Structure 1
Amino acid sequence: MLLDETAAGVYVIAVTPFRDDGALDLSSLDSMVDFYLEKGADGLTILGMMGEAPKLTGAESVAVARQVLRRVDGRVPVVVGVSAPGFASMVELAQAVMDLGAAGVMVAPPSTLRTDDQIVQYYRTAGDMLGATPFVLQDFPLSTQVQISPAVLDRIIAAVPTCVMIKHEDWPGLAKIEALRQTSAKGGRRVSILTGNGGLFLPEELQRGADGAMTGFAYPEMMVGISTRHAAGDSEGAQDLFDAYLPLARYEQQPGLGLAVRKYILAKRGAIASASLRRPGPKLGAADIREIERLIARQTRRLDSLR
């Protein structure tokens, strides 16, 4: 199944599991896929920024994609991050993962882009180089340092038909979602908008016109539950569920430490065998772990009160 503009729901940004010695843990990829699908994920995105993609070799990236796609076995779409400083390595990885059965790829802009015209030309070229492969434009200026206005996104969407989704994680960014939807309401091409930032703004993003989330959190069922309730018209129920998870979601969004928090909880929940990050990467201290455990206990009590 190829990714297209109708994509909706929750596409979980997957972690990349490593053993304690830093080697890839391929068997944990299987348990991780099973975990995400059991929690209701509508799709998976691998080799993203929170998947430690820059720490992998090219061969390891292909090995991860192969293992995940084999385990998914066509049950949900899988998007693969292929962002790279140059087009040659980007296209090489994109071709490899599409041959393995990926639904599409994700491309973030390089930090060297400075002007609107440069951004548009970059994605025109990316579309040409990727050929028929559908791709997600990752709009994450806090990481890429590239600011893409709604007007520039409109230009890219109009010019590059294989750009089928915006991964929106600009903030403040709610007005950007609204602006993109206003353009499509006036006759512009409508693309899927899935949002990031750990789901911290998901209820509001859905209200503004997003189609779901493409992000990570150690409790993906939170994002699935919010999206499901929103689609059913239960915005208050979606907000109540969000409120129960918010303290831990906030804690997990700490710059630098957040992925270590997420992996700790995923290991605790049995999704992966080890919480290790590949070097360089932070390690949790005893105080961090005490805080996480306290937040988990409080979250459990709040969820019990909603049942």
Structure 2
Amino acid sequence: MKFEWKGVFPAVTTKFTENEELDLAAFDINIKAQLEAGVDGIILGGSLGEASVLTEDEKFVLLKHTLKYVDGKVPVILNIAEQSTYKAVAFAKKAFEYGADGLMLLPPLRYNADEDETITYITAIAESTPLPIMIYNNPVDYKIEITLDMFERLSVYENIQAIKESTRDIINTTRLINRFGDRFKIFTGVDPIATESIIMGADGWVAGLVDAFPKETVAIFRLIKAGRIQEAIAIHRWFLPLLELDIHAKLVQYIKLAEVATGIGSEKVRAPRLPLKGKERERVLNVINTALALRPELPEGSWGILEKVTA
């Protein structure tokens, strides 16, 4: 499937049963809500998807199931988060065989690879597959930064096409545009600063709170791209306390709890994660419930399958 790296791509959560098995029925409820809101792609097996506790077989069960459910409406992107180059290359090849539309790629996990090691890892994967690739640059959580000079080295690979910019440095979006023009499509990957990043030229948003609030997320993106900045900012100001749930170690539990509140998810997680309890649960629920009580009416035409902005 040929597609454009542009728009809102939810990093979807993985749903589990009480026995911590995949819950595909619950998963479908959320994917349906995402599609109805007009998202532009789906990303499986990211941090929010609890990639670290999924088996390889489970990741490909999710891929096969999602491809069938989505049925070509939007691209389905599979995340690669591996420790060895050998395994990452094998994973990329298998993703292509299963029909993934693209890949999101983290640098090597656990080992703090240097620049040459990181470049070698990424290029080995790029050379192993025809699939388009988004590089996930998140030195805050994963300890390896892919610098502008490193992206220069990677720019010779045609299938490395997009960057998930998660350095949390708002200026980096402009640095990338100044350095590379439109060579790479830039996706903001940090919810609280997404509005600012899109205004400054980001092509898309790999979003987290979209899992619970898909219409609001899509509305912000489309309004900005349509030049309706003040309307987008008004939604963002309401949304910010929720968006800040995305930058916490327990973002999975926080966002899943928000999914329950909006009726499109389950808070079941896989150990070692545990459901929230006590004062922490009360605090997060207060953020969610306060936002729900003040939930804004969205401008007409700012979300929905049939009303996509083409700008």
Using structure 2 for the length normalisation, give the TM-score.
0.88
Match of residue 15 from structure 1: 13
> Could you say which residue in structure 2 is the equivalent of 1:65?
63
1:249-260 alignment runs, 5 A limit: 249-250=243-244, 252-253=245-246, 255-260=248-253
Letter in 1 for 2:153: R
Partner of 1:190, secondary structure, is coil
Which residue, out of 215, 223, 226, partners 2:220? 226
Residue 16 of structure 2 aligns to which amino acid in structure 1? F
Alpha-carbon distance between aligned partners in 2 of 1:190 and 1:33, rounded to the nearest angstrom? 30
Asked if structure 2 preserves the Cα contact closer than 8 Å seen for 1:69 and 1:100, the reply is: no
* Structure 1 Cα separation of the partners of residues 270 and 295 of structure 2: 33
Match of 1:296 in 2: 288
CA distance in 2, matches of 1:47, 1:36: 16
The alignment's C-alpha RMSD in Å is 2.0
2:262 aligned partner: 269
Please tell me whether the aligned partners of residues 84 and 110 of structure 1 are also in contact (alpha carbons under 8 angstroms).
yes
- Determine which of 225, 235, 248 is the counterpart of 2:242: 248
Shift of 1:26: 1.6
Q: Deviations over 1:6-59 (max 9, x none)?
A: 411100000000012211112122212102112221111001111111211121
CA contact (8 A) 1:193 1:210 kept: yes
Structure 2 counterpart of 1:176, which letter?
Answer: N
Report what 2:153 is aligned to.
155
CA distance in 1, matches of 2:26, 2:16: 8
Answer whether contact 1:11 1:44 (CA < 8 A) is retained: yes
CA distance change for structure 1 residues 194 and 16 in 2, over 3 Å: closer, same or farther? same
Structure 1 CA distance for aligned equivalents of residues 45 and 285 of structure 2: 28
Task: Note the residue ranges of structure 1 that are not aligned, 5 or more in a row.
Answer: none
Aligned partner of 2:230 in structure 1 is 236
Return the letter of the residue paired with 2:120.
Q
C-alpha distance in 2, partners of 1:232/1:306?
Answer: 15
2:268 & 2:12 partners in 1: Cα distance?
14
Query: Does the C-alpha gap of structure 1 residues 209 and 257 become closer, same or farther in structure 2, counting only changes over 3 Å?
Result: same
Counterpart of 1:93 in structure 2 is: 91
Matched AA of 2:145: Q
Residues 246 and 255 in structure 2, CA contact (< 8 A), matched pair in contact too: no
Partner of residue 164 from structure 2, selected from 156, 163, 167: 167
Deviations 1:239-263 (A, max 9, x none): 110001111222x235222211111
* Pick aligned residue for 2:133 from 125, 132, 135: 135
Q: Match for residue 304 of structure 2?
A: none
Number of aligned pairs? 296
Determine if contact 1:137/1:165 at 8 Å carries over to the other structure. Answer: yes
**Does the CA contact (< 8 Å) of 1:18 and 1:24 recur in 2?**
yes
Cα distance in 2 between the residues matched to 1:305 and 1:84: 42
Gaps of 5+ in 2: 300-311
* Counterpart check, 1:2 vs 2:13: no
